Structure 1
Amino acid sequence: MSDEENPPQAKDDFVPKRKSKSAIWDYFGYKKEDVDQKQVICLECYKVVATKHGNTTNLSDHLKRHHKALYDEYKVKSGCEPKQKTICDAFASVTPYQKGSQRHKEITDAITFHIAKDMLPLNTVAKEGFKKMIRTLDRRYVIPSRTHFSQVAIKELYEKCKSKIEAELLSHVEYYAATTDLWSSRTTEPYISLTVHFLTEDFEIKSRCLQTAFFPESHTAENIGEALREAVAAWGLDETRQVCITTDNAANMVRAAALNKWTRLQCFGHRLHLAVENAVKNDGRIDRAVGVCKKLVSHFSHSWKARDALSKVQKELNLPSHCLISECQTRWGSRQMMISRILEQQQALTQVLSADKKVRHLIPTWQDIDVLESVSKSLVPMLDFTDALSGDEYVSVSFVKPVLQLFNTSLLEMQEEDTDLTKNIKKKILDYLNEKYEDDDTQKLLDMASFLDPRFKMDFISADKKTQVKARVASQMMECQEKSSCSTDVEPSASASASAPQAKKAKKSLGSFFKQSETVAKGDSSLSLKDAVEAELNTYMLTPPIDKEEDPLAWWKVHKLSFPRLARLARKYLCIPATSSPSERLFSTSGNIITCQRTCLKPAKVDRLVFLAKNLE
Structure 2
Amino acid sequence: MSAVWKHFKVSEKEAKTAVCRHCSAELSRGGASAKTYSTSSLIYHLKSRHPEHHAEYEKDTAAAAATAAVKRKIAPPSPRTPTPSVADFLEKAKKFTNHSAKAKGITKRIMEFFALDDQPFSVVEDVGFRRLIDHIEPRYTMPSRRYFSDVCLPEMYNVVSSHVHELLATDIAALSFTIDIWSSDVSPTSMLSLTAQWIDTDFKLQKIVLHSQEFRGSHTAIAISEAFANMFDTWRIDRSKVHAVVSDNARNMAKAMEDSDLKGIRCMAHTIQLAVNEGLLSQRSIADVVAIGRKIVGHFKHSPLAYARLQSIQEQFGTPQKRFQQDITKEISSSDASVADVIPLLAALKRLLNKEAETDHGVKTTKSALLEAVSTRFSQADSEPLYCIATVLDPRYKDHYLDVGKKLRTREMIQAELDLGKPLSDGDGQVMHSAGDENSAESKRARTTDEPRTVSLSDMFDEILQENYPFARQRTSSTTQQLDGYLSEVPISRSNNPLEFWRINQGRFPDLAQMARRYLSAPCTSTDSERLFSAASHVIDEKRNRLSCEKAEKLLFIKKNLPLFLKK
Structure 1: distance between partners of 2:361 and 2:192 = 43
Q: Distance in 1 between matches of 2:553 and 2:83?
A: 49
Instruction: State the alpha-carbon separation in 2 of the partners of residues 199 and 543 from structure 1.
Output: 24
User: Given the alignment of the two structures, is residue 446 of structure 1 paired with residue 387 of structure 2, yes or no?
Assistant: yes
1:478 and 1:533 in contact (8 A); partners too: no
Question: Structure 1 residues 128, 412: closer, same or farther in 2, change over 3 A?
Answer: same
C-alpha contact 2:383 2:406 (8 A) present in aligned 1: no
What is the correspondence of 1:208-357 to structure 2 with a 5 Å cutoff? Answer: 208-289=208-289, 334=326
Deviation at 1:281, TM superposition (A): 3.5
**Closer, same or farther in 2 for the Cα pair 1:413/1:468, shift >3 Å?**
same
Q: Which has the higher helix share?
A: 1
Q: Which amino acid aligns with 1:584?
A: E
**CA deviation after TM superposition for structure 1 residue 418, in Å:** 4.4
Contact 1:190–1:214 (Cα < 8 Å) also in 2: yes
Gaps of 5+ in 2: 1-81, 425-475, 564-568
Counterpart check, 1:388 vs 2:331: yes
Q: Is the 8 A contact 1:125 1:146 kept in 2?
A: yes
- 2 CA distance for matches of 1:582 and 1:301? 22
Q: CA RMSD in A?
A: 3.6
Q: For 1:443 and 1:143, how far apart are their aligned partners in 2?
A: 58
Q: Percent identity?
A: 29
CA contact (8 A) 2:195 2:210 kept: yes
Bigger drift between 160-169 and 284-293 goes to 284-293
Q: d(CA) in 2 for partners of 1:569 and 1:128?
A: 57
Structure 2 residue matching 1:455: 3-state secondary structure:
coil
Distance 2:362 2:547 in 1: 50
2:326 is the counterpart of 1:400: no
Distance in 2 (alpha carbons) for counterparts of 1:230 and 1:302: 40
User: 1:93 and 1:574, CA in 2 relative to 1: closer, same or farther beyond 3 A?
Assistant: same
Checking the alignment, whether the CA contact within 8 Å between 2:160 and 2:558 is kept in structure 1 is: yes
Structure 2 letter corresponding to 1:119: D
The Cα of 1:108 is off from its aligned counterpart by: 1.6
Q: Which has the larger radius of gyration?
A: 1
TM-aligned CA distance change 1:244 to 1:421, over 3 Å? farther
Paired residues of 2:176 and 2:523 also in contact (CA < 8 A): yes
| Residue number in structure 2 paired with 1:162 | 161
Amino acid at match of 2:280: V
Distance 2:505 2:320 in 1: 50
1:122 aligns with 2:116: no
Cα 1:461–1:595 change in 2 (3 A) is: same
1:426 pairs with 2:425: no
Q: Is residue 594 of structure 1 aligned with residue 551 of structure 2? A: no
C-alpha distance in structure 2 between counterparts of 1:315 and 1:570, whole Å: 45
Structure 2 length normalisation: TM-score? 0.68
How many pairs were matched up? 428
State the distance in 2 between where 1:142 and 1:605 align: 24
Query: Counterparts of 1:468 and 1:152 in 2: how far apart (Å)?
Result: 57
Distance 1:256-1:396 versus aligned 2 partners, 3 A rule: same
Relative to structure 1, is the Cα distance of residues 85 and 219 closer, same or farther in structure 2, using a 3 angstrom cutoff?
farther
Match of 1:435 among 376, 389, 401: 376
| Aligned residues of 1:97 and 1:140 also touching (Cα < 8 A) | yes
- 1:610 aligned partner: 556
Q: Summarize the Cα distance change of 1:551–1:282 in structure 2 as closer, same or farther, 3 Å threshold.
A: closer
* Cα distance change of structure 1 residues 416 and 174 upon mapping to structure 2, 3 Å threshold: closer
Separation in structure 2 between the aligned mates of residue 321 and residue 89 of structure 1, nearest angstrom:
65
Matched residue, 1:24 = none
| Partner SS state of residue 124, structure 1 | helix
Map of 1:495-574 to 2, 5 A cutoff? Answer: 534-574=480-520
Local SS of the residue matching 1:211: strand
Partner of 2:531: 585
Counterpart Cα distance in 2 of 1:232 and 1:594: 26
* 1:611 shift after superposition: 0.7
Per the normalisation by structure 1, the TM-score is: 0.63
Q: Are the counterparts in 2 of residues 395 and 574 from structure 1 also a CA contact under 8 Å?
A: no
What is the CA deviation profile of residues 381-418 of structure 1, one whole-angstrom value per residue up to 9, with x for unaligned ones? xx3xx2222133x2432222111111122x32332424
1:194 — aligned with what? Answer: 194
Question: CA shift at 1:546, angstroms?
Answer: 2.2
Q: Deviations over 1:499-532 (max 9, x none)?
A: xxxxxxxxxxxxxxxxxxxxxxxxxxxxxxx979
Give unmatched runs, 5+ long, in structure 1. Answer: 1-83, 326-332, 337-382, 484-529
Q: 1:595, 1:167 → 2: CA distance?
A: 32
